[in-house]
């Protein structure tokens, strides 16, 4: 029989002699060599399918193919992680990965296919269904030793499994164990928690408590492994029987000769608190060696049960007392919580596919995670020299701080950026953060930075949303302040959380006039200032008589700037066309050409374009770019700062070169305003931007400069009064000021006082076909001499 790989096919079984599926026409021979024989795993609600296959080039080697049938960034990342582990890590306890390839079906559906070794034997879930339990603790000890050795190897290479259970452990005919299914994409399911859907990796009865909260750590693997051995020793499945999850599960152990020390080890591994579990796989191996080499007393009835129960009660009491008197600290080495001081990479793999980070970066991450900071420093330094990304520099600075200062000397802030949703903008912000942190560290002050990826969703369906991140950050008792969030929407949602906790939130990018709180400050000018500059530019400088506003009518930022522009236009006697449905950038059926023609028919000669920030659930930036690229009527277009993006300058998208040269944007800062400043010169060195490339650069943006300033502001406030309330009081003092990249920063009611706004225009670079942003009042000395730009 030949099996069809198309998950939508109505009849997937086919005779052996068929070349294509009889039901859907999908080719049955993949890559001209792989034929699906029969399914090993087909689940309706699963994201993957697994098949036993025949390889026509290696018929004597049994293989399986796993296909990812629903491709999303998160699922693809997990799937590719499994591929990376099984193709790069060679260990007798791991399957051998062979190849990954994409598959495009006739229905336009895409699959990812991974071919790997078929491990002979049966999984332990199947074994348990036949044998019920282990009759000898010695077998349990041997199996535990094998599996911990595998985990030690995997953990030392910077990975962990997250879904250990009997079904994911294969028993080979030679009695050796193999750990399978590292992708966990199959278990990535929508679960309801507190009436809100969240994405979790969860196996009932085996998943550690912290992992169910989205905070998996290496010790989460030990918890799941301990639960697995409770099943093996008692025959009671933790997934279906509460007796396996009770404190006295050991009463049901079948082999009464089991040493107390082995029970104690499994109790430690399954402790509810990860910090009370064995810290490493090596620690477990040492305990197993002690059990094998020494004679321990066997279980002796009620006396031992009472001893264990009493110990558990003491542990519970200690936990309650601990929670009453203590909150967690930052940089807690919890993985996959979307927060990192250096223990994991947050820049998504999908962004770095075309420009892979140096291998030294991941090696440095592994050393940082192991608290081997000198080794991490050496590796981060090499990685940054090879590829100067700001995440690496922040982690390098953090590692230096850990080695040069005591815990009492270190001050910690966080930066919340939309790395997952808009990596480019997130990196622009991080460049400013990293440059400021480097300057501060060079002056002898330890300012540690924790990066938080909020995906910029204000209150979305994933755990990577701004409110979720804010709630986690304020619980860290050593966190002093936060830089963020990127969009006005996300900032608006989080302000009550920071205000309640007394944590200062200083935004370098959120401009909405409606953002107000005693603990909120910003280094970027508000929409009221930007709108006045835009209106003056259109009605006074360009002498235009009538303007229309294309904006995202559901966006907090776009609503704010649109309303402020109308007010500013009124003060200048400017005429603004009334709000119309055709001008709504939030519409799925927005038609740029029709909207432009509608403006022309109503006598408009200027258009204000204000999309949302481009990182929320709806992204109107592509529609806004289409307006500019389609400006064949050559109306004047003035845009808000959310459109300051390299995509605007892409030559292949521009349908009217003359029209795009009639485009201006109101932004907080441009590097060519002061190319000789210390900030710009240092930024060019750090990020390897040649002097002659300053005009074409989009890496050092207004977001970089205002974020740099935000860190300088916090550093000065922390130096004067290093407490949450002290920072807030310092920033509200009328004489407080800091000189940064964008000038002198002072605050009035939390807003930037007399903050700068620069009008930039799009013009040709050096008489070429390339377009660049330059200040509107910039005139090169010689347009043919690129060095003068």
Q: Are strands 48-55 and 63-68 parallel, antiparallel or unpaired?
A: antiparallel
pLDDT per residue as tens digits for the range 305-362: 444 444 544 444 444 433 333 346 778 788 888 899 999 999 987 776 567 889 999 9
As given in the structure block, the two tokens for residue 260 are 């107390």
> CATH class for domain 527-667?
alpha beta
Ranges for all domains in the chain classified under CATH 1.10.510.10: 122-325
Q: How far apart are CA 452 and CA 282, in angstroms?
A: 31
Q: How far apart are CA 648 and CA 621, in angstroms?
A: 10
The secondary element (H helix, E strand) that includes residue 86 is helix 73-88
pLDDT per residue as tens digits for the range 559-572: 999 999 999 999 99
Quote the strand ranges of 234-348, DSSP E.
339-340
Predicted pLDDT at 314: 43
Q: Are strands 411-417 and 504-507 parallel, antiparallel or unpaired?
A: unpaired
Ranges for all domains in the chain classified under CATH 3.40.50.2300: 349-522, 527-667
Residue 328 sits at φ, ψ, to 5 deg, of: -75, 160
Which 3 state secondary structure label does DSSP give 637? strand
Predicted pLDDT at 77: 80
Q: How far apart are CA 395 and CA 618, in angstroms?
A: 32
* Neighbouring residues of 246: CB distance < 8 A, sequence distance ≥ 6: none
Q: How far apart are CA 542 and CA 655, in angstroms?
A: 23
Q: How far apart are CA 455 and CA 361, in angstroms?
A: 23
Q: How far apart are CA 12 and CA 42, in angstroms?
A: 12
Instruction: Check: CB of residue 24 under 8 Å from CB of residue 10.
Output: yes
If we measure between CA atoms, which residue out of 199, 171, 170 comes closest to residue 77? 199
* Neighbouring residues of 624: CB distance < 8 A, sequence distance ≥ 6: 550, 585, 609, 610, 611, 639, 643
Residue 725 neighbours by CB distance under 10 Å:
12
Predicted pLDDT at 410: 94
Q: How far apart are CA 230 and CA 267, in angstroms?
A: 9
pLDDT per residue as tens digits for the range 618-637: 678 888 888 888 887 778 99
Q: How far apart are CA 781 and CA 785, in angstroms?
A: 8
CATH of 2-117, one of 2.40.170.20, 3.10.129.10, 3.40.50.12280, 3.30.200.20: 3.30.200.20
Task: Give pTM, 2 decimals.
Answer: 0.61
Quick one: DSSP state of residue 649? G
Instruction: Check: CB of residue 531 under 8 Å from CB of residue 757.
Output: no
Residue 514 sits at φ, ψ, to 5 deg, of: -80, 0
Q: Are strands 758-764 and 771-775 parallel, antiparallel or unpaired?
A: antiparallel
CATH of 349-522, one of 1.10.287.810, 3.40.50.300, 1.20.1250.20, 3.40.50.2300: 3.40.50.2300
According to CATH, what is the number of the domain 122-325? 1.10.510.10
Strand partners, 551: 584, 610
As given in the structure block, the two tokens for residue 456 are 């910029």
Ranges for all domains in the chain classified under CATH 3.30.200.20: 2-117
CA 408, chain centre distance (Å): 29
R_g of the chain, CA atoms, integer Å: 30
Predicted pLDDT at 190: 29
CA 183, chain centre distance (Å): 18
Predicted pLDDT at 450: 98
Give the residue ranges of the chain where pLDDT is below 70.
42-46, 182-202, 241-247, 295-328, 352-354, 456-464, 615-618, 656, 780-789
Predicted pLDDT at 308: 47
């Amino acid at each position: 029989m030949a099996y069809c790989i198309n998950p939508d096919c109505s009849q997937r079984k086919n005779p052996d002699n068929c070349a294509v599926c009889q039901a859907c026409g999908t080719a049955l021979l993949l890559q001209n060599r792989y034929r699906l024989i029969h399914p090993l795993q087909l689940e309706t609600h699963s994201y993957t399918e697994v098949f036993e296959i025949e390889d026509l080039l290696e018929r004597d080697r049994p293989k399986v193919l796993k296909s990812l049938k629903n491709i999303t960034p998160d699922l693809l990342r997990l799937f590719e992680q499994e591929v990376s582990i099984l193709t790069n890590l060679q260990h007798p306890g791991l399957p051998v990965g062979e190849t990954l390839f994409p598959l495009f079906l006739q229905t336009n559906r895409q699959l990812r296919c991974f071919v790997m070794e078929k491990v002979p034997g049966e999984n332990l879930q199947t074994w348990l269904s036949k044998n019920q339990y282990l009759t000898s603790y010695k077998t349990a000890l041997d199996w535990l030793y094998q599996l911990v050795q595998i985990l030690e190897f995997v953990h030392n290479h910077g990975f962990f499994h997250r879904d250990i259970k009997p079904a994911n452990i294969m028993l080979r005919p030679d009695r050796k164990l193999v750990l399978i299914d590292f992708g966990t994409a199959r278990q990535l399911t929508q679960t309801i928690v507190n009436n809100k859907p969240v994405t979790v990796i969860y196996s009932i009865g085996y998943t550690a408590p912290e992992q169910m909260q989205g905070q998996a750590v290496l010790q989460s693997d030990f918890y799941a492994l301990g639960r697995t051995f409770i099943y093996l020793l008692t025959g009671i499945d933790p997934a279906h029987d509460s007796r396996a999850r009770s404190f006295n599960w050991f009463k049901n152990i079948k082999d009464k000769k089991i040493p107390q020390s082995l029970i104690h080890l499994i109790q430690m591994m399954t402790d509810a608190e990860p910090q009370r579990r064995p810290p490493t796989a090596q620690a477990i191996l040492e305990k197993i060696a002690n059990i094998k080499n020494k004679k321990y007393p066997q279980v002796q009835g009620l006396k031992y049960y009472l001893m264990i129960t009493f110990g558990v009660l003491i542990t519970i009491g200690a936990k309650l007392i601990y929670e009453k008197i203590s909150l967690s600290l930052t940089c807690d080495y919890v993985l996959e919580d979307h927060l990192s001081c250096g223990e994991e990479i947050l820049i998504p793999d999908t962004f770095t596919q075309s420009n892979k980070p140096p291998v030294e970066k991941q090696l440095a991450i592994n050393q940082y995670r192991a608290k081997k900071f000198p080794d991490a420093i050496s590796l981060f330094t090499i990685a940054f020299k090879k590829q100067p990304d700001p995440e690496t520099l922040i982690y390098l600075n953090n590692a230096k701080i850990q080695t040069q200062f005591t815990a009492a000397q270190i001050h910690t802030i966080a930066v919340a950026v939309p790395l997952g949703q808009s990596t480019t903008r997130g990196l622009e912000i991080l460049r400013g953060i990293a440059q400021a942190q480097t300057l501060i560290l060079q002056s002898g002050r330890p300012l540690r930075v924790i990066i938080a990826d909020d995906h910029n969703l204000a209150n979305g369906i994933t755990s990577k949303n701004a409110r979720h991140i804010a709630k986690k950050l304020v619980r860290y008792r050593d966190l002093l302040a936060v830089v963020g969030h990127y969009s006005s929407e996300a900032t608006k949602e989080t302000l009550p959380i920071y205000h309640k906790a007394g944590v200062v939130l200083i935004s370098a990018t959120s401009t909405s006039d409606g953002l107000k709180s005693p603990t909120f400050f910003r280094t970027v000018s508000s929409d009221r200032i930007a709108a006045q500059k835009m209106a003056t530019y259109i009605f006074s400088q360009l002498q235009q008589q009538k303007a229309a506003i294309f904006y995202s009518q559901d966006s907090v930022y776009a609503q704010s700037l649109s309303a402020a522009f109308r007010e500013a236009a009124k003060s200048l006697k400017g005429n603004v066309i009334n709000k119309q449905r055709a001008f709504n950038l939030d519409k799925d059926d927005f038609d740029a050409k029709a909207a432009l023609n509608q403006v022309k028919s109503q006598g408009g000669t200027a258009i204000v374009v204000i999309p949302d920030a481009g990182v929320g659930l709806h992204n109107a930036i592509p529609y806004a770019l289409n307006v500019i690229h389609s400006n064949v009527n050559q109306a004047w277009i003035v845009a808000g700062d959310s459109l300051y993006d390299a995509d605007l300058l892409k030559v292949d998208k521009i349908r009217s070169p003359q029209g795009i040269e009639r485009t201006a944007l109101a932004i907080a800062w441009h590097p060519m305003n002061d190319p000789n400043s210390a900030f710009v010169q240092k930024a060019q060195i750090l990020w390897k931007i040649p002097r002659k490339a300053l005009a074409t650069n989009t890496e050092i943006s207004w977001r970089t400069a205002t974020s740099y300033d935000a860190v300088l502001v916090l550093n000065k406030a922390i130096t004067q009064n290093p407490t949450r309330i002290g920072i807030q009081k310092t920033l509200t003092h009328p004489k407080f000021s800091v000189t940064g990249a964008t000038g002198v920063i002072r605050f009035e009611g939390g807003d930037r006082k007399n903050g700068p706004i620069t009008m930039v225009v799009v013009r040709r670079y050096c008489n070429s076909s390339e377009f660049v942003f330059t200040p509107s009042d910039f005139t090169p000395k010689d347009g043919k001499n690129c060095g003068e730009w």
